[in-house]
Structure 1
Amino acid sequence: MSELLEKGAARTRWIRSRMPLLAAARREFAERQPFAGRRIGMSLHLEPKTAVLLEVLAAGGAEVVATGNHGSTQDDIVALLRSTGMTVFGARDDTIEQHMSNVASVIEAKPDILLDNGADLAAGVVASGHAESVVGGTEETTSGGIRLRDELAGQVPFPVIVINDSMLKAIGENRHGVGQSVVESVMRITNLMIPGRRFVVAGYGWCGRGIAQYLRAFGGKVAVAEVDELKAFEAALDGYRVGDLAQLAEWGEFFITATGAPNVIGPDVIARLQGGAILANAGHFPWEIDTAHLRAAASAVSQLDAAIERFDLPDGREITLLAEGRMVNLAGREPKGNSLEAMDLGFLLQALSLERVATAAAGLVPGAQPVPRDLERLIARRFLDALGADR
């Protein structure tokens, strides 16, 4: 066994032992075989928790063809999955062009079911003409749900259950999973103190709520920039300073984006940042911070660490960027991602939603749709039991 494979096996062994919801699903799927004769195509972060999910799907009879997301693939997990016979594309150092080639390779395998993250697979099968052979799929993220409902509206002829529409995912995985892991990753990468620092969180969706909550819990001074009036209203009543991002640029020391939208921190905001400002992104796509403008504007760029870059601007300011503007909790140094409990919950949502697609797609409407309510209630009961909430 190679050193890389040994590392992946050891990491996954520990994580598997702490995901009781998926362990139960694995036993059930082994008996029911809901994916027998099906090929599941996946584009999702390739890390140990995802490996446990894929093991569950394979136990249910699925043939898996998979790739990761750009910048978050963990090579030891790729080695582990390949050792089980799965077809897996991708490496941590892949360029964005190579990543899209990996996505194309998954699509060329003509999967029956899609496990998508960011709607890359859904967009690809529509563009390639393979959509008619797809039974259905799931979509993990806010960003993917937006693409399905806007860019791909009316073009997807099969049902896609948007996991991110579930309140279970919103609360358990986004607010508490992402909130904890983003703040933890920022602390690990920078080794800076949180208490007393001025943080600006761009976006007050469920992930933004969680990031703001955990920053404040550690003693950070937190402001929220949100273009939606109702979310800004909520942030204000939750006790955060609320303002326009360009205005808050001069106040903040640390900026974290969590919106799903491109160029949230663009030239106008960058021009107002104080020297020493630190930028990080928690959104799915690496486009929320305009890194191209930042690189073009800099007189010098220094790689201070595997996940830390310093940009010296001609006016004397220096700006620090974490993880190249990619998801800081999965693309940064020593990536851990969301907590095991949060992903046990979120991936059970995935597994049971995929089973619903595989066995009852005819009863679902084409296009994006929420997780069936009966599955949400079942999973909520199982999570409470696993948590020992009545003890």
Structure 2
Amino acid sequence: MTATDTDLAAKGRARIAWIRSRMPLLAQARAAFAATQPFAGHRIGMSLHLEPKTAVLLETLAAGGAEIIATGNFGSTQDDTVAALREAGMTVFGSRADTLEQHAGNIRAVLDGAPDILLDNGADLAAGIVERGTQASIIGGTEETTSGADRLRGELARTVSFPIVVINDSRLKAIGENRHAVGQSIVESFMRITNLMVPGRHVVVVGYGWCGRGIAQYFRSLGAQVGVVELDVMKAFEAALDGFRVASLTELAGWADVLITATGRERVVAGDVFDLLRDDVVLGNSGHFPWEIDVATLRADASSIDQVDDGIERIHRPNGRSVVLLAGGRMFNLAGREPKGNSLESMDLGFLLQALSLERIATDAGGLFPGAQPVPDDIERFIAARFVEAMGAAR
């Protein structure tokens, strides 16, 4: 290990220690797993954002006997966390500077390690298993995101023969992590990266799922005027009654000072929409995959590009207007400058959902059905009670 690696590992250890001290739900699970060893003899392959909160989850699984082989997601890996986990003896691939091609190689490396349980984000590992035709080697797994759940219920629906618990189907995660934590972290990341004022600014949120709801709510709470673009008429109805301006993207594109995608869908902001945007509009994506904004076309059509820093590029368009792109179109609360991600409390909740769902896979996979499915109800109710207790609201 080089001096740089040693320094990175020390920084990572310090950050992980602080975060571990603020995650009491995972602390309880870690103590229980140490006694029961539910993952003894199992190898967990992970593809999930690699940052200090994730490290506490991996420690919890390792305490239960799991062997860990892991990589992060494209653009959001934090190198100090990787160094600390490697120092602790875990097999971890990837770095923040990885290209998409290198990231794909990291996914292959995890699968080459022959895991029998998957901890997936975006269904990359599940898709890799299907491509290899090695489904029989997997007893089950979890999936973190809506984007991954869409793949599991779409292109992979007929080929995944093992149970996958979709954490994002959990109402607990929807409320605690997606709405409140993503909403908070997107707004504070916007302020940290751009140093722009929120009050009075026109913010358009594309997508009114749980994440979109939270982003709209938290921007409005700081004084922004918020518009919502939503194709699902029932969600659009809800957004209108929640007091937001609801209209099409073409109607709101020229009104927006800030436009944030939260859909999980490809090329939501693309084509003629770029020509409708006002000068110096800020574009950011909160979805898992970096495909909601058609960044390739935006860059290809540019008259020039100013790389302001690692979180901001100012793209000058032939029409004389400019677009400010955050984090290259990646999830900017985790891939932008000084990434913090979701709050510690919300990830304590979300990662306990992960830990207990993985425990169910390890100990009772036969009691679950093949393919994507929600978190078992008894796990949800148990965690809801523990979270309320942890917040002191039960007194």
**Pair in the same fold by TM > 0.5:** yes
2:64 to 60, 64, 73: 60
Instruction: Give the residue type in structure 2 aligned to 1:346.
Output: G
1:102 to 102, 106, 109: 106
**Whole-angstrom distance in 2 between the partners of 1:223 and 1:268:** 19
Instruction: Give the residue type in structure 2 aligned to 1:368.
Output: A
**Whole-angstrom distance in 2 between the partners of 1:132 and 1:206:** 34
**Whole-angstrom distance in 2 between the partners of 1:211 and 1:26:** 32
Map residues 32-47 of structure 1 onto 2, 5 A cutoff.
Answer: 32-47=36-51
Aligned to 2:356: 352
Structure 1 residue 100: Cα displacement: 0.6
Structure 1 residue 387: Cα displacement: 0.5
1:131 aligns with 2:135: yes
Runs of 4 or more consecutive aligned structure 1 residues displaced over 3 Å after TM superposition = none
1:312 aligns with 2:331: no
The secondary structure found in structure 2 opposite 1:194 is coil
1:73 aligns with 2:77: yes
Structure 1 residue 247: Cα displacement: 1.3
The secondary structure found in structure 2 opposite 1:85 is coil
Gaps of 5+ in 1: none
Aligned to 1:206: 210
Aligned to 2:391: 387
- Residues 281 and 288 in structure 1, CA contact (< 8 A), matched pair in contact too: yes
- Residues 139 and 162 in structure 1, CA contact (< 8 A), matched pair in contact too: yes
**Whole-angstrom distance in 1 between the partners of 2:319 and 2:370:** 53
Identity rate of aligned residues, in percent? 68
1:82 to 77, 83, 86: 86
1:339 to 333, 336, 343: 343
1:13 to 17, 25, 36: 17
1:298 to 290, 294, 302: 302
**Whole-angstrom distance in 2 between the partners of 1:284 and 1:330:** 10
**Whole-angstrom distance in 2 between the partners of 1:184 and 1:155:** 40
The secondary structure found in structure 2 opposite 1:155 is coil
Aligned to 2:328: 324
Structure 1 residue 129: Cα displacement: 1.6
**Whole-angstrom distance in 1 between the partners of 2:377 and 2:317:** 52
2:176 to 165, 172, 178: 172
**Whole-angstrom distance in 1 between the partners of 2:78 and 2:126:** 23
CA displacement, residues 249-301 of structure 1 (integer Å, 9 cap, x when unaligned): 01111000000000000012111001111100000000000001100111000
Instruction: Give the residue type in structure 2 aligned to 1:118.
Output: G
The secondary structure found in structure 2 opposite 1:271 is helix
**Whole-angstrom distance in 2 between the partners of 1:86 and 1:325:** 30
Stretch deviating more after TM superposition (267-276 or 44-53) = 267-276
2:167 to 163, 170, 177: 163
Aligned to 2:119: 115
1:277 to 277, 281, 284: 281
**Whole-angstrom distance in 2 between the partners of 1:163 and 1:314:** 43
The number of aligned residues is: 391
Structure 1 residue 59: Cα displacement: 0.2
1:376 to 362, 367, 380: 380
2:53 to 49, 54, 67: 49
**Whole-angstrom distance in 1 between the partners of 2:79 and 2:394:** 40
Instruction: Give the residue type in structure 2 aligned to 1:283.
Output: G
**Whole-angstrom distance in 2 between the partners of 1:28 and 1:200:** 45
The two structures have a TM-score, normalised by structure 2, of: 0.98
Instruction: Give the residue type in structure 1 aligned to 2:377.
Output: R
**Whole-angstrom distance in 2 between the partners of 1:18 and 1:98:** 33
Map residues 186-205 of structure 1 onto 2, 5 A cutoff.
Answer: 186-205=190-209
Aligned to 2:245: 241
Instruction: Give the residue type in structure 2 aligned to 1:236.
Output: A
**Whole-angstrom distance in 2 between the partners of 1:188 and 1:48:** 19
Instruction: Give the residue type in structure 2 aligned to 1:205.
Output: G
Structure 1 residue 374: Cα displacement: 0.4
Instruction: Give the residue type in structure 2 aligned to 1:357.
Output: I
- Residues 110 and 130 in structure 1, CA contact (< 8 A), matched pair in contact too: no
The secondary structure found in structure 2 opposite 1:267 is coil
**Whole-angstrom distance in 2 between the partners of 1:386 and 1:81:** 27
**Whole-angstrom distance in 1 between the partners of 2:311 and 2:134:** 38
- Residues 285 and 327 in structure 1, CA contact (< 8 A), matched pair in contact too: yes
- Residues 329 and 336 in structure 1, CA contact (< 8 A), matched pair in contact too: yes
The secondary structure found in structure 1 opposite 2:76 is coil
- Residues 71 and 331 in structure 1, CA contact (< 8 A), matched pair in contact too: yes
The secondary structure found in structure 1 opposite 2:276 is coil
Aligned to 2:144: 140
Structure 1 residue 314: Cα displacement: 1.4
Structure 1 residue 390: Cα displacement: 2.6
1:91 to 95, 99, 110: 95
Structure 1 residue 131: Cα displacement: 1.1
1:260 to 234, 256, 264: 264
